């Protein structure tokens, strides 16, 4: 309609191109630098990085460990989530929705906080060991889980249980109970009902959930780095070590490349599957009822207890541990946060990190919301054939891990033409890349959800394109926008992998301070780590409540 205003169209084009430009400069360029370093470090083709990682036993073990732990974590998570999902999709019980919300909370919790929480619960200096030692007189911590595969698996289940639970139970709840009833009438019962009817029907959801959990655990970084100790390393952790302790950029780049390739394939499979699960969903009547028999009640109770133990106990332990010192309640760890004692590993009082994180998070939110909104508008315009191409491209930053991103920044953005290495803007830039897909995903459904004729109706009532945007689109997507903004804020507050690479020593973020404090001996450092983690957890929990509120309320209104 604006054929006659070429200047306006030009401006529109420039604005629409901004997210793409951002992606090119701050994602593809660092990524290409990794390619360059791994394939041709001196300008000529040199594959020695690859020969090293593929021939050495050490790296082979790293690959297998990464793959194996991801597989185990996925199997455990899905195995536990299936009964949980059954309970959530078939039975009603008191506190159900609260429990579902609580179970989803870990999704927004930073890895550092989760590592700290598990350390607070079952670590050598944790609540359980301390209690056992003082009650039963052990001289050493009786529960030794730190630096074992077990704790890595437990934490991975903690993280991903809710993801699997949500995917599976929503799929299940949308599936007609009539199918099951038909199978029952035809004579299926007990395990045959599960094996021949329920699980096969669930297959798309199970596959989607498995791949997602696998992706998450395959690229696990903070959990393995903090809780695994030097014995364990995923590819992600290995990249970090190669760069920071061994200065072996070529090997790190080769590892990154292998991981990116693998992730990309998994992402492709996942998006394919996701499209399937969403089209398969039909609004079917589902029957949710109270558990009747003793067996059913026990089944429900067991799952509730599991969720509480697995998900809530560590977080409660974290809070408790941050307020106790040698068995007594104290707030000293919180007050200590504002001081900068001599000999500390930090250059600044821990509390300044809170300020840093807030500034970075606000900058990230502003940038991610602006770029994400433009991207969502671009992707939602069905007219543009470009959209179909661009959609997966904008999701790519999720496929490349945060550590890879941070690594890419170090090798790409520390020399002309873009020398930002000493600039603090690197952090919000990296965070924006990680956060933008969340914004796009939050806004896109509400843009697409605007009934098609509403805009036409507004136009015919005399609204110009700009007025339609102002009075129709914007109010209708405001909820999605707030959800996206909250996501961006939370992601930035908790981001660990990329920040660890690029944060300046004098401007650390909260997760980095926690990581450094956890690595130090001494009850005070440990207590401060707990206190910082509690603060971060509180921030994320508040954001999470906001997200949940707006999201569920949004469903009812549109």
Partner 1 sequence: MLTISHVTRAFGSLQVLRGVSLTITDGEIVCLLGPSGCGKTTLLRTIAGLETADSGDIQVDRQSIRDVPIHERDFGLMFQDFALFPHMNVAQNILFGLRMRHMPKPQAQQRLHDVLELVGLKGFEQRDVAQLSGGERQRVALARSLAPSPRLLMLDEPLGSLDAALRERLVVELRDIIKRIGLTAIYVTHDQHEAFAIADRIAVMNAGQIEQVEAPPALYRQPKTPFVARFLGFQNIVPVTGRIDGKVQTPLGVFAIRPHPLIPSPPGGERNFSGAKRGEVSLLLHPDGLQLAAAGDGSRITGIVRELVFSGDTYRVEIQHDSGISLSFRVPSREMGEITVGETVYVSVAEDCIVPLVKR
245: alpha, beta or left, given left = phi > 0 and alpha = psi -120 to 50? alpha
Give the contact letters, 476-515, x = binds to partner 1 (CB under 8 A), - = no.
x---------------------------------------
Q: How far is the CB of 3 from partner 1 (least distance, A)?
A: 8
CA distance 190 to 188: 7
Give the contact letters, 407-446, x = binds to partner 1 (CB under 8 A), - = no.
----------------------------------------
Q: Does 464 bind partner 1 (CB under 8 A)?
A: yes
The encoded tokens of residue 359 equal: 């500034």
Over its C-alpha atoms, the chain yields an Rg (Å, rounded) of: 25
> Using the rule CB under 8 A, which residue among 139, 293, 326, 460 binds partner 1?
460
Q: Does 245 bind partner 1 (CB under 8 A)?
A: no
Asked whether 492 and 365 are in contact (CB, 8 A), the reply is yes
Q: Which is nearer to partner 1, 148 or 478 (CB)?
A: 478
Q: Which is nearer to partner 1, 473 or 495 (CB)?
A: 473
The encoded tokens of residue 301 equal: 């109770």
> Using the rule CB under 8 A, which residue among 15, 454, 542, 545 binds partner 1?
454
Q: Does 551 bind partner 1 (CB under 8 A)?
A: no
Kindly indicate which of the ranges 257-265, 471-479, 486-494, 513-521 contains the residues binding partner 1, using the contact rule CB under 8 A. 471-479
Distant-in-sequence contacts of 320-329, Cβ < 8 A, 24+ apart: 320/120, 320/127, 321/120, 321/126, 321/127, 321/527, 321/530, 322/120, 322/527, 322/530, 322/531, 322/533, 322/534, 325/523, 325/527, 326/523, 327/130, 327/134
Q: Which is nearer to partner 1, 1 or 328 (CB)?
A: 1
Q: Does 461 bind partner 1 (CB under 8 A)?
A: yes
Q: Which is nearer to partner 1, 203 or 448 (CB)?
A: 448
Q: Does 463 bind partner 1 (CB under 8 A)?
A: yes
CA distance 29 to 137: 58
Sites for partner 1 among residues 2-31 (CB under 8 A): 2-4
Neighbours of 203 (CB within 10 A): 13
Asked whether 312 and 102 are in contact (CB, 8 A), the reply is yes
> Using the rule CB under 8 A, which residue among 103, 429, 458, 513 binds partner 1?
458
Q: How far is the CB of 483 from partner 1 (least distance, A)?
A: 16
Q: Which is nearer to partner 1, 206 or 444 (CB)?
A: 444
Q: What are the DSSP calls for 382-421, one per residue?
A: TT-THHHHHHHHHHHHHHS-HHHHHHHHHHHTEETTEE-T
Q: What are the DSSP calls for 3-53, one per residue?
A: TT-HHHHHHHHHHHHHHHHHHIIIIIHHHHHHHHHHH-TTSS---HHHHHH
Picking from 439, 368, 505, the residue whose alpha carbon sits closest to that of residue 26 is 368
Q: Which is nearer to partner 1, 241 or 459 (CB)?
A: 459
Q: Which is nearer to partner 1, 58 or 466 (CB)?
A: 466
Q: Which is nearer to partner 1, 115 or 444 (CB)?
A: 444
What are the helix (H) ranges across 91-221?
Answer: 96-104, 111-122, 127-136, 149-173, 177-185, 191-192, 199-218
499: alpha, beta or left, given left = phi > 0 and alpha = psi -120 to 50? alpha
Q: Does 475 bind partner 1 (CB under 8 A)?
A: yes
Q: Does 385 bind partner 1 (CB under 8 A)?
A: no
Q: How far is the CB of 551 from partner 1 (least distance, A)?
A: 17
Q: How far is the CB of 458 from partner 1 (least distance, A)?
A: 7
How many residues touch partner 1 under the rule CB under 8 A: the total is 23
43: alpha, beta or left, given left = phi > 0 and alpha = psi -120 to 50? left
Kindly indicate which of the ranges 53-61, 88-96, 212-220, 467-475 contains the residues binding partner 1, using the contact rule CB under 8 A. 467-475
Report the residue count for the chain.
558
Kindly indicate which of the ranges 169-177, 199-207, 388-396, 464-472 contains the residues binding partner 1, using the contact rule CB under 8 A. 464-472
Q: How far is the CB of 478 from partner 1 (least distance, A)?
A: 9
Kindly indicate which of the ranges 232-240, 245-253, 352-360, 449-457 contains the residues binding partner 1, using the contact rule CB under 8 A. 449-457
Q: Which is nearer to partner 1, 241 or 455 (CB)?
A: 455
CA distance 244 to 246: 6
* Burial environment of residue 10 by CB neighbours within 10 A (0 to 12, 13 to 18, 19 or more): exposed
Picking from 95, 467, 469, the residue whose alpha carbon sits closest to that of residue 308 is 95
Q: Does 327 bind partner 1 (CB under 8 A)?
A: no
Kindly indicate which of the ranges 23-31, 130-138, 201-209, 462-470 contains the residues binding partner 1, using the contact rule CB under 8 A. 462-470
Q: Which is nearer to partner 1, 459 or 551 (CB)?
A: 459
* Exposure letters 57-71 (e unless 16+ CB within 10 A, then b): eebeebbebbeebbe
Q: Which is nearer to partner 1, 454 or 523 (CB)?
A: 454
Q: How far is the CB of 6 from partner 1 (least distance, A)?
A: 15
Q: Which is nearer to partner 1, 441 or 479 (CB)?
A: 479
Give the interface with partner 1 as residue ranges (CB under 8 A): 1-4, 451, 453-454, 456-464, 467, 471-472, 475-476, 557-558
């Amino acid at each position: 309609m604006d054929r006659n205003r070429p200047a306006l169209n030009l401006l529109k084009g420039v604005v629409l191109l901004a997210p793409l430009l951002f992606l090119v400069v701050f994602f593809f360029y660092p990524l290409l630098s990794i390619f360059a370093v791994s394939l041709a470090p001196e300008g000529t083709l040199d594959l020695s990085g690859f020969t090293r990682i593929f021939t050495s036993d050490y790296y082979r073990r790293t690959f297998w460990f990464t793959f194996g732990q991801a597989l185990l974590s996925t199997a455990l998570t899905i195995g536990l989530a299936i009964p949980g999902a059954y309970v959530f999709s078939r039975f009603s019980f008191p506190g159900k929705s609260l429990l579902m919300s609580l179970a989803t909370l870990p999704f927004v919790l930073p890895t550092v906080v989760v590592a700290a929480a598990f350390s607070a619960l079952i670590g050598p200096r944790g609540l359980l060991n301390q209690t056992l030692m003082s009650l039963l007189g052990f001289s050493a911590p009786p529960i030794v889980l730190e630096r074992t595969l077990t704790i890595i698996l437990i934490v991975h289940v903690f993280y991903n249980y809710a993801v699997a639970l949500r995917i599976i139970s929503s799929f299940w709840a949308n599936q007609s109970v009539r199918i099951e009833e038909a199978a029952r009438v035809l004579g299926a019962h007990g395990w045959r009902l599960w094996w021949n009817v329920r699980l096969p029907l669930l297959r798309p959801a199970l596959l989607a959930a498995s791949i997602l959990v696998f992706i998450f655990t395959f690229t696990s970084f903070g959990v393995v780095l903090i809780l695994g100790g030097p014995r364990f390393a995923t590819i992600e952790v290995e990249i970090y070590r190669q760069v920071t302790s061994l200065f072996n950029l070529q090997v790190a780049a080769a590892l990154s490349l292998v991981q990116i390739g693998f992730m990309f394939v998994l992402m492709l499979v996942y998006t394919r599957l996701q499209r399937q699960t969403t089209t398969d969903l039909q609004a079917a009547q589902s029957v949710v009822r109270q558990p009747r028999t003793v067996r059913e009640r026990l089944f429900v109770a067991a799952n509730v207890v599991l969720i509480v133990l697995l998900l809530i106990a560590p977080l409660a332990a974290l809070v408790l541990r941050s307020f106790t010192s040698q068995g007594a309640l104290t707030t000293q760890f919180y007050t200590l946060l504002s001081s900068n004692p001599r000999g500390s590993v930090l250059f600044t009082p821990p509390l300044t990190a809170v300020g840093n994180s807030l500034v970075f998070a606000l900058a990230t939110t502003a940038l991610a919301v602006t770029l994400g909104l433009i991207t969502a508008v671009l992707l939602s315009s069905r007219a543009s054939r470009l959209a179909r191409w661009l959609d997966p491209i904008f999701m790519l930053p999720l496929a490349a891990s945060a550590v890879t991103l941070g690594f890419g920044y170090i090798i790409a953005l520390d020399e002309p033409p873009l020398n930002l290495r000493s600039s603090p803007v690197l952090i919000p830039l990296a965070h924006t890349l990680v956060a933008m897909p969340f914004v796009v995903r939050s806004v896109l459904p509400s843009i697409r959800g605007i009934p098609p004729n509403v805009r036409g109706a507004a136009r015919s009532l005399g609204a110009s394109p700009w007025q339609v945007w102002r009075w129709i689109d914007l109010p209708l997507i405001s909820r999605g926008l707030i959800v996206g903004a909250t996501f961006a804020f939370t992601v930035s507050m908790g981001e660990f992998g990329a920040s660890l690479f690029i944060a300046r020593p004098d401007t650390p973020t909260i997760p980095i301070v926690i990581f450094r404090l956890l690595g130090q001996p001494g009850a005070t450092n440990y207590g401060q780590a707990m206190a910082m983690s509690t603060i971060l957890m509180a921030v994320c929990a508040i954001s999470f409540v906001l997200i949940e509120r707006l999201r569920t309320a949004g469903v009812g209104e549109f």
